[in-house]
Structure 1
Amino acid sequence: TVSRTPTTTVPTAPSTPTAPATPLVTVGDWVEIGCYTEATASRALTLGTKVNYSTMDLETCSAFCYTLGALYFGVEYGGECYCGNELEAGSIPATDGCVMPCAGNPAETCGGSDRLNLF
């Protein structure tokens, strides 16, 4: 014979989404991944490089990397832009250091010394 044990379902309270610690920065379809260190033996992103210490901002860098078909872009030291399809070995999340304003738009953050804002 087959017997069935009755079951009771207890409703649970809906989960409340938690807000991220810091708001996500977006540039077009790109979303900031975070602050990263440079790679061990090279740059973290190696597909393309553009440097301009007077006009660099997130939009300029993302547009440049888009033309290269890159999956990622990153800004460093206030005026350096790097593009790539993968992070090179040794590039890891950094807890601090991405604090330099972009040369072309001081309201935006463009990495730091050996620190890359990665999108």
Structure 2
Amino acid sequence: FAGTQYSYECFCANTRPPDEKKSADDQCVSRCSGDQANVCGGPNRLSVYSTGIREKQQRRAYIGCFVDGGIGNRLLTGLQQDFPQSLTQDVCNKHCFEKGFAFAGTQYSYECFCSSSKPPEYKRAPDNQCDTKCAGDKNRICGGTNRLSVYSTGIREKQQRRAYIGCFVDGGIGNRLLTGLQQDF
């Protein structure tokens, strides 16, 4: 779920806000800083949208080994996070799942990449080319040199479109209604 407030603030959360926090739509009155034709919350009011990502359990399924193009030409382009001491397939998959991505890939023992799109089949490599042990578990494989071990996270690749679900009362700093990420625009 995503919510906008005060014209330029964006909040995210994995759970739907409770209906008892809902307020009248006419209390969300701030025009969006990026598009004055739309409303982006108001004073202590969030315009909340479903992102289309369904709440579901994380589950990891191996897709295959894929060729990565390296810096500047990554195969999984959504997000990268290094886990130099602790990377395993499960650590990367959980990280990507929690960030809302459909696919996770491990590479070079400690690198984790996330993407909303499945890698193309023509980039598939033989599984034995993913041959580097995971930093967090030397009994597991985490990609290789320019090779990604790719997994689905349990989030479907193509989700329903976003939908407005209402204007909600926000508790302010220290008591936010949407408690995931926050970014000002």
What TM-score, normalized to structure 1? 0.69
Q: 1:34 is matched with which residue? A: 64
- Structure 2 portions without partners, runs of 5+: 1-57, 152-185
What is the distance in 2 between the residues matched to 1:105 and 1:91?
A: 29
AA paired with 1:71?
A
Shift of 1:87: 4.5
Q: Deviations over 1:63-104 (max 9, x none)?
A: 110111101000000000000011467961101420111000
The secondary structure found in structure 2 opposite 1:86 is coil
Structure 2 residue 148 is the aligned partner of structure 1 residue 116: yes
Q: Which of 64, 86, 96 is residue 55 of structure 1 equivalent to?
A: 86
Pick the structure with greater CA Rg.
Answer: 1
Percent of pairs with identical residues: 26
Q: Which of 135, 153, 156 is residue 103 of structure 1 equivalent to?
A: 135
What TM-score, normalized to structure 2? 0.46
Q: 1:5 is matched with which residue? A: none
Number of aligned positions between the proteins: 92
AA paired with 1:80?
E
What is the distance in 2 between the residues matched to 1:62 and 1:29?
A: 8
AA paired with 2:85?
S
AA paired with 1:94?
A
**RMSD of aligned alpha carbons:** 2.1
Q: Deviations over 1:32-85 (max 9, x none)?
A: 011000148611111111112221111111111011110100000000000001
| More strand by percentage | 2
Structure-2 change in CA distance of 1:88 and 1:33 (3 Å): closer
The secondary structure found in structure 2 opposite 1:42 is coil
- Structure 1 portions without partners, runs of 5+: 1-27
Q: 1:9 is matched with which residue? A: none
AA paired with 2:62?
E
